[in-house]
Amino acid sequence: MSDSAAPPEQAADTPPPSPFHRLADFVALPRLGGLALSTDGSRLVTSVATLDAEGKKWQSALWEVDPTGRREARRLTRGAAGESAPLFTPAGDLLFTSARPDPEGKEGGEPTGSLWSLPAGGGEARLVLQRPGGISAVALAQDTGDVAVVASTMPGAADAEADEQRRTARKDAGVSAVLHESYPVRFWDHDLGPAVPHVFWIGRLPAEAAPGTAAATPTWRDLTPDAGPPLGAGDDVALSPDGRFLARSEDVPDGPAGRRSRLVLTEVASGGTRVLLDDPLSDVYAPSFSPDSARVVCVCESQSTFAEPPDHTLLVVDVATAEARELTAGFDRWPSAPQFSADGDSVFFLADDDGRHALFRVGLDGGSPVRLTDQGAYSDLQVARDGSALYALRSGYDTPPVPVRLDPRATGQDPSPLPNPGTISSFPGTLRELDATATDGSRVQSWLVLPEGAGPENPAPLVLWVHGGPLMSWNSWSWRWTPWVLAARGYAVLLPNPGLSQGFGQDFVRRGWGAWGAEPYTDLMSAVDAAEALPEIDETRTAAMGGSFGGYMANWIATQTDRFAAIVTHASLWHLDTFSGTTDSAFYWEREFGNPLTEPKRYDQNSPHRYADAIRTPMLVIHGDKDYRVPIGEGLRLWYDLQKRGVPSRFLYFPDENHWVLTPGNAAVWYETVLAFLAEHVLGEEWRRPELL
């Protein structure tokens, strides 16, 4: 792997001061994701992705972490295909998904994600469930151990054999076409159809066969025989602890070409399904059962309109009566990922709050939510069944995701990580928080990474990074947008949360709604002004970068100011009218911007392409051909518009990447190219073309 973007002073055979100084070291860092806690609370397992032997892909394995923090983590699996999505049964067996080949299966064919079990008492993992199209999600009843799975199935296929026959027939005939009869046709990075996700009831997983006897065949009972349209049942499913009910978010039509989600409940014994919660003006999702299986907590997200951005709240629904009540009324943040406490008297949830992604607790008897954590961003929350502890992955700009133990009631927590293989101990700089005052007086919060050695005598060049979304905020670690890679090369990196960012209240989102080129832009410039006023920053050497919505803002900045020496725009929106009709979920964006034929004002006022003649700043355009959220046409049109105007520009094109860059080699080349482009235009160095390009 080429390392041409490494600092000139860092020789290849010299031990680096941090893993961010050489891209090869950075790409090889372990990456944790997902968390599973055993029923008795004695075992905690996470998935750790590392480079494979050839260095061409990240491969995941399961690691066990000591919940008490006394023992070092240990690796549990070593399959060549990798393992992920861990889940404990009540008996202590560890379930996981893997594309491992069936050790007793027929030759040929591509392995798909199947369900495996690692016995609690030790021994080899065994295959317990497989399906021709793979298994995409698993739901488990905490008390009984019953299992339901989500698996993609061809239309008209009554069982796995028929499903496989239909897939084989298409392959043998050389048919890849899909006939759609409803919108949408694709999602993020994959085409929808012809197979759609179904939810299958398995019940108790078959026990391991005794030597010399045939293994029991699991019963697959389709709980969603009429699944569809393409988004179908999805992966948003939950089983009640007693195994009697399955709750899931169901995608339904909303107007001629729109979609929304509602909550449905299936009685497992009969297979009967009824609507549990259906709000024609909201999306309802993320169901989770109470310990007594009598209630469901879920997220209710109001649909955005031309006048109003979405809002989020939590609802508690009675399973028997379908009576719902709001749990977080008046809470001016957006709750997500709710789970009941062990005693069922309260609910834990996560929400962006002031540049953090915090953990909250709210009682079922009313009252305001209480924030339990101080710094950091939390995910993958696990609730100990005895109520003694919580576990989660904590990240931030000071740490990638690492497992931590939390108290269920204490406030102001900032726990130390449990021993794990993903902790990073050395960073090439320091992190601080920076506030700015917007033109309308609003506070604009930012994170600022300063490289080592930056000071009045040696001010650092500044790179503005704009987050995507746009309804999100900079608050957690990102492998794709890691400021420390730039800090290792001497750059300061500013990560602001302008208007439209969540975690600062609904009014702060409203400031930029339908006006992306107004307050979001002026907020960013106010944040840059505040950073440039610091003695550690060299205001004469600056650049701007962003991806997705951040790429849109990078394009908008290019048309509004020449204060930056270089601009990098990744997966960016350029022509809002074209984008709104070709993206994977066009109806969502049309709610905010309106019908471009009858309500063109917002498109005209906020589309960067209309102001292309004003661009003077050199630009690096980056786009993946498999990006369905921001289709490649946006990058191609931007590139052509720059070229025909003679704007100094380059185009880094990935034929096989999507909205993100997901392979190690391409990720390294992405950073190499960005660093070379910044060095040329910000530092005044000679252009150094990455060796593999």
Is residue 479 very low, low, confident or very high in pLDDT (cuts 50, 70, 90)? very high
Q: What is the mean pLDDT of residues 141-168?
A: 94
Is residue 246 very low, low, confident or very high in pLDDT (cuts 50, 70, 90)? very high
The CATH class of the 429-681 domain is alpha beta
- Of the ranges 181-195, 569-583, 607-621, 637-651, which one carries the lowest mean pLDDT score? 181-195
Q: Any idea where the domains of the chain sit in the sequence? A: 30-130, 140-297, 327-423, 429-681
Tell me which H or E stretch contains 591: helix 586-593
User: What pLDDT sits at residue 132?
Assistant: 93
Q: What is the mean pLDDT of residues 267-271?
A: 96
SS3 (DSSP) at 588: helix
CA within 13 Å, CB half, 540: 4
- Of the ranges 55-69, 197-211, 646-660, which one carries the lowest mean pLDDT score? 197-211
| Burial environment of residue 604 by CB neighbours within 10 A (0 to 12, 13 to 18, 19 or more) | exposed
Same fold: 30-130 with 429-681: no
Q: What is the mean pLDDT of residues 184-194?
A: 91
* 86-105 exposure pattern, b = at least 16 Cβ within 10 A, e = fewer: bbbbbeebbbbbbbbbeeee
User: What pLDDT sits at residue 1?
Assistant: 35
Start-to-end Cα distance in the chain: 12
pLDDT over threshold 80, residue 20:
yes
Instruction: Please state, in angstroms and rounded to a whole number, the distance separating the CA atoms of residues 556 and 671.
Output: 23
Mean confidence (pLDDT) of the chain: 94
pLDDT over threshold 70, residue 267:
yes
Is residue 216 very low, low, confident or very high in pLDDT (cuts 50, 70, 90)? confident
User: What pLDDT sits at residue 112?
Assistant: 77
In this predicted model, what pLDDT tens digit does every residue of 335-390 receive, in sequence order? Answer: 999 999 999 999 999 999 999 999 999 999 989 999 999 999 999 999 999 999 99
In this predicted model, what pLDDT tens digit does every residue of 417-462 receive, in sequence order? Answer: 999 999 999 999 999 999 999 999 999 999 999 999 999 999 999 9
User: What pLDDT sits at residue 122?
Assistant: 86
Is residue 258 very low, low, confident or very high in pLDDT (cuts 50, 70, 90)? very high
Q: What is the mean pLDDT of residues 148-175?
A: 94
User: What pLDDT sits at residue 214?
Assistant: 64
User: What pLDDT sits at residue 561?
Assistant: 98
Residues 6 or more apart whose Cβ sits within 8 Å of residue 387:
341, 342, 343, 408
pLDDT over threshold 70, residue 106:
no
User: What pLDDT sits at residue 105?
Assistant: 63
Is residue 103 very low, low, confident or very high in pLDDT (cuts 50, 70, 90)? confident
Of 153, 83, 143, the closest CA to residue 115 belongs to 83
Determine contact, residues 472/502, Cβ cutoff 8 Å. yes
Share of the chain above pLDDT 70, in %: 95
pLDDT over threshold 70, residue 154:
yes
In this predicted model, what pLDDT tens digit does every residue of 277-321 receive, in sequence order? Answer: 999 999 999 999 999 999 999 999 999 999 999 999 999 999 999
Instruction: State the chain's maximal CA–CA distance in angstroms.
Output: 78
The CATH class of the 30-130 domain is mainly beta
| Burial environment of residue 214 by CB neighbours within 10 A (0 to 12, 13 to 18, 19 or more) | exposed
In this predicted model, what pLDDT tens digit does every residue of 659-679 receive, in sequence order? Answer: 999 999 999 999 999 999 999
pLDDT over threshold 90, residue 212:
no
For residue 611, the 8-state DSSP code is: G
pTM assigned to the model: 0.95
Is residue 206 very low, low, confident or very high in pLDDT (cuts 50, 70, 90)? confident
Determine contact, residues 286/298, Cβ cutoff 8 Å. yes
pLDDT over threshold 70, residue 8:
no
Phi and psi torsions of 459, nearest 5°: -65, 145
Phi and psi torsions of 265, nearest 5°: -125, 130
User: What pLDDT sits at residue 4?
Assistant: 37
Determine contact, residues 86/99, Cβ cutoff 8 Å. no
Of 543, 472, 464, the closest CA to residue 512 belongs to 472
In this predicted model, what pLDDT tens digit does every residue of 566-622 receive, in sequence order? Answer: 999 999 999 999 999 999 999 999 999 999 999 999 999 999 999 999 999 999 999
User: What pLDDT sits at residue 230?
Assistant: 55
User: What pLDDT sits at residue 217?
Assistant: 84
User: Beta strand 537-547 with 460-466: parallel, antiparallel or unpaired?
Assistant: parallel
User: What pLDDT sits at residue 107?
Assistant: 46
